[in-house]
Amino acid sequence: MPPKPPLTHFLCLPLVTNASRSQLQASVEAFAAESQGTHPESVSIPQRAFRPLETLHLTLGVMSLLEPGQVESAIKLLHGLDMPKMLRDASSDTMEKEEPIEIAQPITGEEQSDNGAETKPAGTVEVKSTSEGHPQSSQSGDSHMSGLNCPLNISLRSLVSMHDPKKTSILYAQPVDASDRLLPFCRQLKEKFVEAGFLVPDTRPLLLHATMLNTVYVPAVRQKTTGDRGHGKRKAKLTVDATKLLEKYKDFSWADDFKLEEVAICEMGAKRIVNEQGDVIGEKYEQIASKNL
């Protein structure tokens, strides 16, 4: 089997905007504080597992742009997209007949090497959905038509585990949009970049999520082991029991009704943000291109 290509960039929708920043900052800081031992019901989770505010985004796909000219071509594709038309097309997609389906989608996000693939979230839920499989709101018909040219507003809700909640390494918030355009719009975006050959092939369903906690960023934990040759130590992936957190945050709103402002191509690997005194105050993915919605 040939080695996997190194990942260099990813396509995403940034979540930190002028409208969402204050809400998300308060929510992220409270979540980290309650999960690190400063709250009576907290569980012990290392600071490095919590994703910094400026890194929050919805991943649409990952890229390996190593050939000459590929970066420039990907940027040209993004800049040439007709975003208003794609949003109108996405609105049309939501007017299909509803039917109940089970949603249990595997992740396609930043969980390996910042934006690699992971396993499906634990459990399934039945929701009202269009035949395309995206959550359906109570709006339909004329209400969809009247919103064809409206901004794409979303909220971030709840807390979900990618694995067995008792032994998980990834927790994420779910995006919700009342117009039901988000998922079909993102599918269109992903398809454009797939057709152009820029995204690493991935046939699994797109699961839009905002990662709030990922233990892949915690330095390797060395655990004692025993065996035929005596005592020793080995590196192990950190997992946490998140059952109490999931219960506490199941109805939580991280940020309400804010406009998504752009689609971006970012470099893999968040860069440190340093203040004038040289102190690290956060992390942020470097954008190489963006297109306003």
Beta strands in the chain (DSSP E): 9-14, 57-63, 98-103, 125-130, 153-161, 170-176, 210-214, 221-225, 232-236, 253-259, 262-267, 271-274, 280-284, 287-292
Q: Which fold has domain 11-95+151-220+237-292?
A: Cyclic Phosphodiesterase; Chain: A, (3.90.1140)
What's the N-to-C CA distance of the chain in angstroms? 40
pLDDT tens digits, one per residue of 239-276? 889 999 999 999 999 999 999 999 999 999 999 988 88
Identify whether the C-beta of residue 6 lies closer than 8 Å to the C-beta of residue 64: yes
> pLDDT grade, residue 92 (50/70/90)?
confident
pLDDT tens digits, one per residue of 27-50? 999 999 888 754 545 557 888 899
User: How many other C-beta atoms are found inside a 10 Å radius of the C-beta of residue 178?
Assistant: 16
What per-residue confidence (pLDDT) applies to 180? 94
Helices (H) and strands (E) counted in the chain, each on its own, are 6, 14
What are the extents of the domains in the chain? 11-95+151-220+237-292
What per-residue confidence (pLDDT) applies to 46? 87
User: How many other C-beta atoms are found inside a 10 Å radius of the C-beta of residue 226?
Assistant: 8
Identify whether the C-beta of residue 136 lies closer than 8 Å to the C-beta of residue 94: yes
pLDDT tens digits, one per residue of 189-224? 999 999 999 999 888 899 999 999 999 988 865 544
User: How many other C-beta atoms are found inside a 10 Å radius of the C-beta of residue 203?
Assistant: 5
What's the burial of 139, exposed, middle or buried (CB within 10 Å: 0-12/13-18/19+)? Answer: middle
User: How many other C-beta atoms are found inside a 10 Å radius of the C-beta of residue 128?
Assistant: 12
